[in-house]
Structure 1
Amino acid sequence: MERLGEVVRTAQGLLILRAAGEDAPDIGRTAVDESLNDVGRVVDVFGPVSRPYVAVSPDGDEPLATMLGEKLYGR
C-alpha cells in the first residue's frame, strides 16, 4: 500500500488530492483512508509531473467536504 496524497479540495463530485510524490497512481486504483475503508477509485491524474494532482471518484454518500485534509492511500 502506498500513500496517494492529501485531499486538498473537491470539484464536480470528485476528491482532489495533492500527490505525495512524483509517482502517479494508476487510474482505477482503489483509494482507502487511514482505517483501510474504501473511499473510491482514482479516475484521473493531472498537473505538474513533479507533484501531480489525483482525482478520486468517491464510493459512499459521505459529504465530500468532510474529507478535506484526509490522507488517502492506494490499494
Structure 2
Amino acid sequence: MEESLIGVLGQLLNQAKDDCNDQDLGLRMRQILDAEGAVERLGAQVESVSADHQGNDLPLLWPFHADHRSVLFRVLELIGPAPTT
C-alpha cells in the first residue's frame, strides 16, 4: 500500500516538473488521482498507513480479514481457547 501511494506521489511530482500553467497541471493531477481510484480511496489508504505508523495495525488487518470473519469465529469456537489462569 505504501509503495502504491509513493508511486502516485511520484507521478504527481513528475507532472509538476513539466512546464505548464497551473490549470493544465491541475487537470493532469486530477487525471492521475482519478486513474488511481479517486481521492477518497487514496485518502483511506493514507489514513490506514498513518494509523499503522502510530502503532495501530487494525485498519490494515480489517480489509483482509473482513471476508473471513465468520470462518475465524467458527475456528475459534471449534478450538475452544480457554484462559490459562
TM-score under structure 2 length normalisation:
0.19
**Structure in which a larger fraction of residues adopt helix:** 2
Which of 1 and 2 has greater Rg? Answer: 2
**Structure in which a larger fraction of residues adopt strand:** 1
